[in-house]
Structure 1
Amino acid sequence: MTIYSGPVFDMAAKQFGVIADYLEIPVDQRDRLLLPKRAVTVACPIRRDDGTIAVFEGYRVQHHLTLGPTKGGTRFASNVDLGEVAALAVWMSWKCAVTGLPYGGAKGGIAVDTKKISRRELEVLARRYMQELIPFVGPHIDVMAPDMGTDEQVMAWFMDTYSMHQGRTVTEIVTGKPVSAGGTLGRREATGRGVAHLARRVMQDLSIEANGATAVVQGFGNVGSIAASELHKAGVKIIAVSDHTTALHRPAGLDVPGLIAHTAQRGSLAGYSNELASDPKSILTMPCDVLVPAAVERVIDANVANNLRCRILAEAANGPTTPDADLILERRKDEIFVIPDIICNAGGVVVSYFEWVQDLAQFFWGEDEVMRREYQILDTAFSNMIERARRDDIYNRTAAMATGVERVRAAKNTRGLFP
């Protein structure tokens, strides 16, 4: 029995079970590796603009603190629940471990539709959420970052709230802040740049020329739009994109800078073009060289996996592929090269780590240095995955997750079990 439930946590647990079987981890040791160390639920009452009081439910899950503080984003979305947050925290642990970062995974969120609250209400809610969590977070306990529905400004409000409580400025309590408030250059672009960097690397390995290659991006938020932009700059034609409002398709290639300008002004792809509108369900299975799912979890199920017509699957979202789909993709590994999420989208947490380090040292790097170090860490993790996958003739996700789980398990075993 566990307090965590729902399809997303069930998926994370099933993935872990596959890795635990592969690593032959004794059954009595598995729950210690899988179940989160701490889960906090908070009620966040705020006064609405009309004078009424509304209460929103918030969560923060810290998976493990064996290697250092926990690290993870904070999601403001209407469908946030404890099971989803816990699953994302678990995945973040494997992501940090496989990239060699001194963190455990964490995740947080509030169940709220940000389109239905005002800017003032958003600020009040963000500050109240941080205030409720102050006893459980800190620069060496749990460091927050942005995620779906939050941004640099929300992180600045988090940081200011925590700092007011401490009586001094504590920039290192969050990452993904504005540069003016102690953030690092390159953080906002880090995840999308990392996705594009690894996709280009695989293209080179597969002898796919960037000029003339095609890509489809499902999810055109911060990560998806930047990945699309970086691929577009490299010469790749972005033939289709989608978000929660619409899908657009142009075989000759879309105007990516124009799409980014439109979404910056309008907040979504809605209204960009009626002529280019396409069926959103068809986006994932369009023929292309690179498919980038950059939206939410569980979009590639067994049916979609059977019908994928991409050569490279670059998982920019967390948990976009279900375990049933993985069974199919493992059989199709000679047709489709999967860059698993815990490496593909790790650029964000890697550069968040750089921001945390810079804040602690009060010594800041230039953007070129940030990017160079980001790509170096991603390339090392990717190379290790490929070496293991080829050596043991296993699926890429198995190779990546096994490395992450092994590192966490080794640290726990070395430290021992506190009485």
Structure 2
Amino acid sequence: MLNALAPDKLPTAPLISLTWTDHVTGSRGHLVVDRLVRGVASGGVRMREGCTLEEVAGLARGMTMKEALHYDPKARYVPLGGAKGGIDCDPRHPDAYGVLVRYLRAMRPYLESCWATGEDLGLTQDTVERAAAEAGLTSTVQAVYPLLDDEEAARARLTDAFACEVDGIGLDELAGGCGVAEAVLSALDDARMPYEGTRVALQGLGTMGGATARFLSQAGLTVVAVADVRGTIVNPAGLDVEALLGSRDSFGTVDRAVLREGDREMPGDAWLAVDTDVLVPAALSYVIDCTNQHRVTARWIVEAANMPVLPAAESLLTTRGIAVMPDVVVNSATNAWWWWTLFGDIGADPDEAFAHIRGSMRDLIARVLARAEADGTAPRAAAHALVADLVPEITERFGTYR
């Protein structure tokens, strides 16, 4: 059973579940549409070797929950259903781009009618957009256009937002990490723990992990470890986050030439056991399980990645007093920023975007922690309970497509 499985008020079976086989390479791709709201579902497409239909189904259910958690009846942003795409292919393989183009071409009927997608693990937004254009699509989010009051203005606003940069980095690459960082800071505030002196370790320094590291470092936290495909870089006194970020390749791999005296290279799984307060898995799914959870010493695990902690491991961690802040809450700003911008709740402005993300995440974390305390449950169960309350309200307003 996956972490992102539904509260009781969500159907157990997805609306659409299919597997595609590439006629050129034999690679397999999957699409799961968990739920439609007003005929549309939202969720990125990932590419990694070993990606399975079960994994994609769990991610799609998680997207249903993320959409519900950001529902605001006063906002222009219309909550969508949840979906996810996944391709079993190493994104570094020379054939990977061709596989992506053929996958998107095969999924074109769904992308044109009911599935709005974007980047996820292993893929950048630029790559997905380029492949989508080659596959004959107008946009990766064209299924949403019929829901817009002014499609031309909305598309221009989103294009302008993607063109925004902060210190040379695209706003779209920073939005999700801003939300993750705010989740960390909200948890620290709730525990009355100062930012200065709080240590953070991250697994993954790609788009999400990199932006999270930047915002947390700027807030005064000390990043003591980061892990990429080549191993873990550790410095108990703190790493030079900006130097590491500036040396990354397109897959988030750090150039070791920028390491300073005091920075140590350790094995790839060393990030789990680093002496830290906050552990941020920001790359792969299923990385913390029953065989390695005992190595974790952090007080909080904040899930920037999708489904990084297996349920049985989370139960053991909770028993040990380690709080797991769930992915459906923590990384939800990535998706929400797109729709706040497209529907017009915010403009194409970094300051406005960051302020809205921070305010929304603060409110969401507060609701989750308050519900957890009231119910005597862990944060994930509290988030699921909030979704169970919101789904009937969304269904009553917009109907359901089953």
TM-score of the aligned structures, taking structure 2 as reference length:
0.83
Structure 1 residue 295 corresponds to structure 2 residue 269: no
Q: Does the 8 Å CA contact 1:72/1:92 hold for their aligned counterparts?
A: yes
Q: Pick from 87, 106, 131: which aligns with 1:110?
A: 87
Look up the SS of the partner of 2:14 in the other structure: coil
Which residue type is aligned with residue 45 of structure 2?
A: T
Superposed CA deviations along residues 27-82 of structure 1, whole A, max 9, x for unmatched, are xxxxx61211002333334xxxxxxx434322211100036511111111111121
Structure 1 residue 97 corresponds to structure 2 residue 68: yes
Q: Does the 8 Å CA contact 1:156/1:181 hold for their aligned counterparts?
A: no
C-alpha distance in 2, partners of 1:418/1:90? 15
Which residue type is aligned with residue 394 of structure 1?
A: T
Q: Does the 8 Å CA contact 1:68/1:102 hold for their aligned counterparts?
A: no
Q: Does the 8 Å CA contact 1:159/1:174 hold for their aligned counterparts?
A: no
Superposed CA deviations along residues 143-196 of structure 1, whole A, max 9, x for unmatched, are 00101121122232255246x46xxx5574389x99995653422211111111
C-alpha distance in 1, partners of 2:85/2:265? 35
Q: Does the 8 Å CA contact 2:178/2:211 hold for their aligned counterparts?
A: yes
Report the counterpart of residue 211 of structure 2 in structure 1: 226
Superposed CA deviations along residues 308-355 of structure 1, whole A, max 9, x for unmatched, are 2212221111111111122223334xx433321111111111112224
- Structure 1 unaligned runs (5+)? 1-9, 26-31, 46-52
C-alpha distance in 1, partners of 2:275/2:357? 30
RMSD: 3.1
Which residue type is aligned with residue 122 of structure 2?
A: G
Superposed CA deviations along residues 74-94 of structure 1, whole A, max 9, x for unmatched, are 111111121111111111111
Q: Does the 8 Å CA contact 1:99/1:343 hold for their aligned counterparts?
A: no
C-alpha distance in 2, partners of 1:386/1:64? 26
Report the counterpart of residue 137 of structure 1 in structure 2: 111
Which residue type is aligned with residue 113 of structure 1?
A: D
Report the counterpart of residue 351 of structure 2 in structure 1: 368
Structure 1 residue 153 corresponds to structure 2 residue 156: no
Structure 1 residue 317 corresponds to structure 2 residue 301: no
Look up the SS of the partner of 2:43 in the other structure: strand
Report the counterpart of residue 5 of structure 1 in structure 2: none
Structure 1 residues 17-36: aligned runs within 5 Å: 19-20=7-8, 33-36=11-14
Q: Which moved more, 1:307-316 or 1:226-235?
A: 307-316
Q: How many residues align?
A: 376
C-alpha distance in 2, partners of 1:171/1:327? 38
Look up the SS of the partner of 2:285 in the other structure: coil
Structure 1 residue 397 corresponds to structure 2 residue 374: no
C-alpha distance in 1, partners of 2:401/2:236? 59
Report the counterpart of residue 262 of structure 1 in structure 2: 247
Structure 1 residue 338 corresponds to structure 2 residue 315: no
Q: CA deviation at 1:382?
A: 1.4
Report the counterpart of residue 35 of structure 2 in structure 1: 64
Which residue type is aligned with residue 382 of structure 2?
A: A
Q: Which moved more, 1:58-67 or 1:188-197?
A: 58-67
- Structure 2 unaligned runs (5+)? 72-77, 145-154, 165-170
Q: CA deviation at 1:245?
A: 1.6
Look up the SS of the partner of 1:115 in the other structure: coil
Q: CA deviation at 1:392?
A: 1.5
Q: Does the 8 Å CA contact 1:155/1:174 hold for their aligned counterparts?
A: no
Report the counterpart of residue 11 of structure 1 in structure 2: 2
Q: Does the 8 Å CA contact 1:99/1:378 hold for their aligned counterparts?
A: no
Structure 1 residue 42 corresponds to structure 2 residue 20: yes
Q: Does the 8 Å CA contact 1:243/1:269 hold for their aligned counterparts?
A: yes
- Could you list the runs of 4 or more consecutive aligned residues of structure 1 that deviate by over 6 angstroms after TM superposition? 177-180, 413-419
Q: CA deviation at 1:289?
A: 1.8
Report the counterpart of residue 3 of structure 1 in structure 2: none
C-alpha distance in 1, partners of 2:80/2:18? 19
Report the counterpart of residue 267 of structure 2 in structure 1: 279
C-alpha distance in 2, partners of 1:407/1:129? 34
Q: Pick from 188, 206, 220: which aligns with 2:191?
A: 206
- Between the two structures, name the one with larger relative contact order (CA 8 Å, sep ≥ 6): 2
C-alpha distance in 1, partners of 2:156/2:400? 40
Q: Which moved more, 1:382-391 or 1:403-412?
A: 403-412
Report the counterpart of residue 354 of structure 1 in structure 2: 340
Structure 1 residue 83 corresponds to structure 2 residue 54: yes
Report the counterpart of residue 142 of structure 2 in structure 1: 173
C-alpha distance in 1, partners of 2:108/2:279? 40
